[in-house]
Structure formats: C-alpha cells, structure tokens
Amino acid sequence: MMRPVIRSAALRQSLAALAADEAAHLPLTALDTVWIQLTGTLCNIACRHCFITCGPKEDRVRMMTRAEVQNSLDECRALGVKEIYFTGGEPMLHPEFFAVIEDSLAVAPTSFLSNGILIDPAAADRLRALFDAARYSLDCRISLDGMTAEENDPVRGRGTFQDIVRGIGLLARAGLAPVVTVVEHALGMAATAKRSAFLAFLQGLGLDRPRVKFLPLLRIGREVRRTHGYGDDDFVRAGSLDRVAAEALQCGSCRLVTADGVWTCPLLLDEPEARLGATLREALAPIRLRWAACHTCVAEGLQCRT
C-alpha cells in the first residue's frame, strides 16, 4: 500500500511532537547489546535503500577514533554488556579496523556488519587469526540483497554483486562462516522457499555452514526516495503495545554509540531527539517509541542483532 509522504517540515514536526506525547514508553530491561557506529556515515558504496544514507561523501556523522571506541568498550565491561556490534557505514574503512575488533574481542563477543567489498585475501586471513586468538566469538555479517546481480545491483550499485560474492568466498576459504544479511527490498524475498534457496545459493559460494538473516525494509533515509516513507499515523501509541511485543523490541536491551554520543538504537542515527546522552551510563533511561521506524520494529519484530 502506498503511504502519503509528508513533505512539509512544519507539519512533520508537529506530528512528531504529537507522537512524542502519545508514544509508548519502553524501559531498558538490561543493556545486553551495544552497537558502535565505527565509521559514522562513511561507506564505500551508496545503496539506494540505505536507511541512514551512508556513502563515500557522507560525513554527517564522523568516524570514531580507536581511543573513543576503547572508552566505550571500558563502559561495556563495567556495565556487563553481553555482545558488541560494529557498524557504519562500512566499518572496514576504519584505518585501525582490525585493532578495534581485537580490542572489542577482549571485552565481549563481537560482530561487524560489512558489505564485504573490502575483503581481500589478506583481510580474510587477519579475520581468521582474530577469530582463532579470541576467547569470545567473532562474527562477520555481510550484506547481499539477492542471489543474482539483477536482483542485488539495482539496490546496492552496479558491480557490487560480484564484489560481495567474492568477499564471501574469501571468508569461506579462510574457514569463517559469515552471516549473510538480506534486506527484503522486494515483496516475498523472505518467504520460506526463498530462504531455503538462499541457503543453497550460499553453499554454492563455498560456505559449508550457510547462515542467512532477512531484514525488513526501513522506510527512512535513502529508501524514502527509492520508494516512499512512513505514513503520518505510523507510530506506536501508548497502550497499543502488549507486554510480549514490548519485551521483543531490541531497544529494551540495546543502545548505539556514535562519535557524537549515544542513541536509542542503530536505526535512528538521523533523529537528534533519539540521542540519550554522551556516554552509555547516561543513556540507560526509558525511551519513548515516538519515531515512524518504531512501527516496523513492532509490526515486523525487527532485530538488528544476529
């Protein structure tokens, strides 16, 4: 169904204020998952569905230094965090990417989300060495949006299918088992038959332990231009959320660390109001589900974690 896109900034703001008033509250049950926006909005490609509008020239949110990351990792340890995810942008663009991952693995199991294009044989070997040396698990997550170039490239960019598939193959050859994430950018992509087909496709790329994760589309960021945004009543009203649905929401157990402070979740980087404080400790308060994207989390049970 097509939803109207609200183009008037003033109207959008007043609706947001209304939403903020009426929106459901969500306490942080436990800080289990910490996301780290390692490279800010910097990415080596510019996907047409990117919900935080990343790209080679996007410097809205700057890269974190290794020292800044270390401060957050210290906080993670002090707070007893269960798992850490590095995201961007493309985290592998960080000049000290491998050192940062090693720092993180000393604290907790660590995942990074990448488009896989920068993985060359040397990078795959270094990841394998980090995997072997660490006490906790290192998980690589690679984004690929189809089983063919025809399906993937219109979304991720011309030639990306080939580059991503090559990266996945190199990880497989290094003896790693990445999770491949697929965004449902077209109808029916996550249907059961498709899911099985995707697993078989990954096996064909050399992954003897194929793992796949489907993610629903978020109608924010660049996706608004590719298709459309949310409608004006897409927010989660207080009282509309039962206990089971509330407990399933990731923002009840996660926060996002960026160079500019801590946000509610990895989805709302472009919402200044979703900033909760300068440090994790300042960001433990309950939040209000006042954003349109919350609608997708509630309706689709979205979990960014693996």
Partner 1 sequence: MPDLICVFGGVYSNHLALAATVEAAWRRGARRFYCLGDLGGFGPNPDKVLPLLREHEVTVLQGNYDHSVGHGLADCGCGYTDPRDNHYAQLSYDYTLARTGDEFRAYQRALPEVIVEEWAGKRVRMAHGSPRRVNEFLWESAAPDAFLARLMDAERADVLLVTHTGIPWQRTLPDGRLVVNVGAIGRPANDGTTDVWYALITVGEETAQRVSAELCRLPYDHPRLAAEMRAEGLPPEFVATIETGFWTTCLEILPPKERMRGRY
Q: Which residues here bind partner 1, judged by CB under 8 A?
A: 30, 32, 76-83, 107-109, 131, 135-139, 175-177, 192, 195-196, 199, 208-209, 211, 213
Which of the listed partners (partner 1, ligand SF4, none) does 124 bind, with a CB threshold of 5 to 8 Å by partner kind? none
Dist CA 170 CA 147 (whole Å): 17
Dist CA 76 CA 33 (whole Å): 9
Write the DSSP assignment of 160-203 as a string of letters.
HHHHHHHHHHHHHHTT--PEEEEE--STTTTSHHHHHHHHHHHH
Q: To which H or E segment does residue 287 belong?
A: strand 287-288
| Interface of this chain with ligand SF4, residues 27 to 86, rule: CB under 6 A | 43, 45-47, 50, 54-55
Question: What token pair was written down for 52?
Answer: 């935080």
Bridge partner residues of 183 (DSSP): 215
Are the CB atoms for 112 and 61 separated by under 8 Å? no
Residue 88 as a binder of ligand SF4 (CB under 6 A): the answer is: yes
Which of the listed partners (partner 1, ligand SF4, none) does 249 bind, with a CB threshold of 5 to 8 Å by partner kind? ligand SF4
**For the window 118-147, what string marks contact with ligand SF4 as x by the rule CB under 6 A?**
-------------------------x----
CB of 27 to ligand SF4, least distance (A): 12
135 burial via Cβ count (<10 Å: 0-12, 13-18, 19+): exposed
117 Cβ neighbours under 8 A, 6+ residues apart:
44, 45, 90, 160, 163, 164, 167
Are the CB atoms for 202 and 167 separated by under 8 Å? no
Which of the listed partners (partner 1, ligand SF4, none) does 169 bind, with a CB threshold of 5 to 8 Å by partner kind? none
Which residue in 232, 252, 237 sits closest to 23, CA to CA? 237
Interacting residue with ligand SF4 among 32, 75, 83, 90 (CB under 6 A) = 90
Which of the listed partners (ligand SF4, partner 1, none) does 54 bind, with a CB threshold of 5 to 8 Å by partner kind? ligand SF4
CB of 230 to ligand SF4, least distance (A): 11
Residue 294 as a binder of ligand SF4 (CB under 6 A): the answer is: yes
166 Cβ neighbours under 8 A, 6+ residues apart:
119
Residue 234 as a binder of ligand SF4 (CB under 6 A): the answer is: no
- Provide the residue type at 42 as one letter: L
Which of the listed partners (partner 1, ligand SF4, none) does 250 bind, with a CB threshold of 5 to 8 Å by partner kind? ligand SF4
Nearer to ligand SF4, 66 or 226 (CB): 226
CB of 103 to partner 1, least distance (A): 13
Dist CA 64 CA 40 (whole Å): 7
Residue 112 as a binder of ligand SF4 (CB under 6 A): the answer is: no
Per CB under 6 A, residues contacting ligand SF4 are 43, 45-47, 50, 54-55, 88-90, 115, 143, 249-251, 264-265, 267-268, 287, 289, 291, 293-294, 297
